[in-house]
Amino acid sequence: MFSGFCASVVGILVAARLSLGIASNGFWELKAVFIISYWALVSLEL
């Protein structure tokens, strides 16, 4: 279960990194990291 969670986080990080690669803006990158971190915390709560 935990390995699946890690795989999901890695997949989202890769997808975010690819989409951010088009418009490499530090602000959006920071915002994406915050959203991913928040999503990870919520997932752990469930």
pLDDT of residue 40: 79
pLDDT of residue 14: 76
Residues 6+ apart with CB under 8 A from 42: none
Domain count, the chain: 1
Q: How far apart are CA 12 and CA 26, in angstroms?
A: 18
Full-model pTM: 0.40
Q: How many CB atoms lie within 10 A of CB 13?
A: 13
pLDDT (tens digit, 9 = 90+) per residue, 1-46?
Answer: 677 777 787 778 777 777 766 555 667 767 777 888 788 778 776 6
Q: Which domain holds residue 12?
A: 2-45
CB 40, CB 11: distance < 8 Å: no
